[in-house]
Amino acid sequence: MDPSPELRDLTIQFAQAIGDGDVAVLERHTSRHPGAAFLGTDPAEWWTDLASLRQAVMGQREVGVEVIPGEPLAFQEGSMGWAVDRGLRFRVGERETPFRMSAVYHQEDGVWKMVHFHSSLGVLNADAIGIELPP
């Protein structure tokens, strides 16, 4: 495993593109492989193709959702790479909500393509399942 400044920068670019509704970045760097899957913070946010992801990004942008990038950590091993970030924020009007995400990339024809991302809201175990768990 090696640190990947290229995937770190691409992860920031993805967050900015989602916040800006910039579908050109999605088009260029999202895999069309049938195994690709993208999961948002809401239970209904489950997309398995670029068209659905694009529609969701544009719809969220239309209602004023912005995404503020954090400071991702990114690594690669051969043609596979991944990134994690816990400093992202959703902004809607004056309200900001922190969230975190992980992404998996695969190099296809010399271009890094996202094959998976999963974002979540950090919720205390006591709130989510009713008990505190050891860290």
Residue 127 within a domain: no
Percent of the chain topping pLDDT 70: 100
Residue 83 within a domain: yes
Over residues 79-97, the mean pLDDT reads 96
| pLDDT higher than threshold 90 for residue 20 | no
CA–CA distance, 4 with 90 (Å, rounded to integer): 25
Over residues 91-104, the mean pLDDT reads 97
Domain carrying residue 19: 2-121
Over residues 64-83, the mean pLDDT reads 96
Integer Rg of the chain from CA = 15
Q: What global pTM score does this model have?
A: 0.92
What are the two backbone dihedrals, phi and then psi, of residue 78, each rounded to the nearest 5 degrees?
65, -130
Residue 128 within a domain: no
CA angle in degrees (0–180, nearest 5) for 109-114-115:
95
- Give how many domains the chain has, as a whole number: 1
CA–CA distance, 86 with 71 (Å, rounded to integer): 8
Classify burial at 45, counting beta carbons within 10 Å of its beta carbon; exposed 0-12, middle 13-18, buried 19 or more: middle
Q: Residue 53 is part of a domain; what is its CATH number?
A: 3.10.450.50
Give the model confidence (pLDDT) of 106-122 as tens digits.
999 999 999 999 999 99
